Structure 1
Amino acid sequence: MNWKTYIKHYQSYLRIERGLSKNTIENYSFDIERLCLFLEANQIEVSPIKISDETVQQFIYSVSKEVNPRSQARIISGLKSFFNYLVFEDYRTDTPLELIEAPKTGRKLPDTLSVEEIDNLIGAIDLSSNEGERNRAMLETLYGCGLRVSELVTLKISDLFFDEGFIKITGKGNKERFVPIGKYTQKYIAIYQKEVRIHLKIKKGHEDTLFLNRRGNQLTRAMIFTIIKDLAVRINLNKNISPHTLRHSFATHLLENGADLRSIQLMLGHESITTTEIYVHLDRSYLKEVMHSFHPRR
């Protein structure tokens, strides 16, 4: 088998056995394809089951000159996953990344927006257009429920349980969770549904998709990025923001107002509490306030 065949089998494994999303699988595959390009450029003809430690180390060294340590660590992680799969399937007896360690990257704290900045961002939306009502509903949902952008664009009407005050989210690995949704966010979704979505000519297969483009198709992740970037420019916001910034802000504002980490973890859909703990590092003044308010030895 050649590289393409092994990669195809690996993708099937990620999709079927590990239940990873299409975007995650594409990211894993990109790391392997980058290795393939390196081999081709250096005229190294070797299969995945024969490639040596030295060749992989040469590739990692070349990558280190082109990308930052965080990206380098991600590439190494992606390759380790692929070669571990080959070992698991008995194509190899060992992995060529056994002795390769990812560079230390430190913990990058996520960017956040203040409540005022979020209000300004949403306030800059042009509500004179149908897309404006949709965009306001989307941003309110991103911030009000702490969703990932992939969760937003795949949100279904049948996942809305407004009477109960929840929405059902299908997150990473097709894991489902119920997230509380406030009346404020519900109001703008309802306005969009009644005043905009009802007039769209919806394409077959998207009848249950909540947020649609003007042609009646599901929105792309890239479109959500563009909408938010354009709004940031409109209000002269000097921060590099993305849809994930609203998710980070959701979690940070909950923590600042007294929510516990376990509750935030469940709402965000983090598999491990350690992922959620990054928000503890965002506001040390808040942590000092908590200690001085509640600790018996304050």
Structure 2
Amino acid sequence: MEWGIVKRDFKRYLQLERSLSPNSIDAYMNDVSKLEAFCSFKNLALNTIQTRDIQKFLLFINDFNISPYTQARLLSGLKTFFGFLQIEYQLEDNPAELIEAPRLNRKLPSVLNIQEIDALIAAIDLSTPEGMRNKAILEILYGCGLRVSELVNLKISNLFLDIEFIKVEGKGNKERLIPIGQQAIKYLRIYLEEVRIHLAIKSGAEDIVFLNRRGAQLTRVMVFIIIKRLANKIALNKDISPHTFRHSFASHLVEGGADLRAVQDMLGHESITTTEIYTHIDKDYLQSVITQYHPRS
């Protein structure tokens, strides 16, 4: 088995059969390239790799002080890679299959409270076209719980504002419908009708909602920059990103009593266990529930 050919076939497998996003595919391929470099250094042929070799590779990688989350993701990628080799190249065993991932402490996501979100949105300069666009961006991030990749790829043809829904393409090109509230609709319409209409739109971006001043598709990095600048403007002492608005969207829904399955559908989570992280409720509230409702309290 030649690394170059195997990597090419593995990439096609991830694209066509797994339908993964470009970012996920890049992560998988980077993991395989790390293993390739290690095997080259150790003079190991791909079809001779055994479990102990994978363990040595993981120990080697660990010397670079990578986080347990990165280690777990790397191991998961290798298990997928060798599983692919079993299917397509008749590899007898998966040498990564029995290796346990490092234990992960589940970290609660950082969220913003209502006052902080209001302060960030209020800090936007609405006297500029970019400000009106940014207002619509933040209203949609918080009002719909989109990933930043879903936001920058949002299409005009997938806006159904008359019935208060938008359609987005999530991970693995899976589509889902998400309700959109009146506040987000209001500022999205203002942006589309008063700002975007005046841009010289680049070829290929005709159906993309959010554009930069040159009429090209807005990038993920630019959305990060917009939010960081607003946080600095109001001296917000939190490390926030576009994903913080998604976390806040989910957390506020769950805390308000929303059904967890409905939140799962809106976020596009495959497993409800991923959504359950938003069920964190402060201890004072839990204590008040016990005091109010338990017969022995």
Query: 2:268 and 2:290 mapped to 1: Cα distance?
Result: 27
AA aligned to 2:131 is G
> Could you tell me which residue of structure 1 aligns to residue 209 of structure 2?
210
The aligned residue for residue 114 of structure 2 is 115
**Residues 2-11 or 71-80, more deviating:** 2-11
Per-residue CA shift, 1:192-220, capped at 9, x if unaligned? 11121011111111111000112211122
Alignment deviations for residues 68-111 of structure 1 (CA, whole Å, 9 cap, x no partner): 21211111111111111111224411112133211101211111
TM-score w.r.t. length of structure 2: 0.93
One-letter identity of the residue aligned with 1:21: S
CA contact (8 A) 2:255 2:279 kept: no
For the Cα contact (< 8 Å) 1:109–1:282, is it kept in 2? no
Q: Is the 8 A contact 2:255 2:281 kept in 1?
A: no
Cα–Cα, structure 1 residues 282 and 27, in superposed 2: closer, same or farther, change >3 Å? farther
Question: Among residues 57, 73, 82, which one is paired with 2:55 in the alignment?
Answer: 57
Query: Distance in 1 between the 2:61 and 2:204 partners?
Result: 42
Q: Tell me which residue corresponds to 1:192.
A: 191
Deviation at 1:283, TM superposition (A): 3.7
CA change 1:196–1:293 in 2 (3 A) is: farther
Q: Deviations over 1:225-276 (max 9, x none)?
A: 2221222222222212111110000011111111111111111111111111
In structure 2, what is the Cα distance between the partners aligned to 1:282 and 1:158? 38
Q: Distance in 2 between matches of 1:285 and 1:199?
A: 52
In structure 2, runs of 5+ residues without a counterpart are none
Q: How does 1:135-146 map to 2 (within 5 A)?
A: 135-146=134-145
Q: What amino acid is aligned across from residue 78 of structure 1 in structure 2?
A: G
Identity of aligned residues (%): 56
- Measured at CA, do residues 292 and 7 of structure 1 come closer, stay the same or move farther in structure 2, by a change above 3 Å? farther
Asked if the contact 1:161–1:167 (Cα under 8 Å) also holds between the matched residues in 2, the reply is yes
CA 90–293 in structure 1, closer or farther in 2 if over 3 Å, else same: farther
Structure 1 residues 294 and 192: CA distance shift in structure 2, 3 A: farther
Distance 1:252 1:188 in 2: 23
| Equivalent in the alignment of 2:240 | 241
Mark the runs of 5 or more structure 1 residues left unpaired by the alignment: none
Between the aligned partners of 2:142 and 2:81, the Cα distance in structure 1 is 35
Contact 1:56–1:97 at 8 Å: present in 2 too? yes
- Count of residue correspondences: 296
Q: Which amino acid aligns with 2:51?
A: D
Cα RMSD over matched residues?
A: 2.0
* Residue pair 1:151, 1:171 contacting (<8 A) in 2 also: yes
TM-score, structure 1 normalization: 0.92
**1:9 maps to what in 2?**
9
In the aligned structure 1, how far is the partner of 2:73 from the partner of 2:136?
Answer: 34
Letter matched to residue 56 of structure 2: Q
The answer to whether structure 1 residue 223 and structure 2 residue 222 are counterparts is: yes
- Per-residue Cα deviation, 1:106-160 (whole angstroms, up to 9, x for no partner): 2111110001111111222222322111111111101000011111011011111
Q: Report the more deviating stretch, 249-258 or 44-53.
A: 44-53
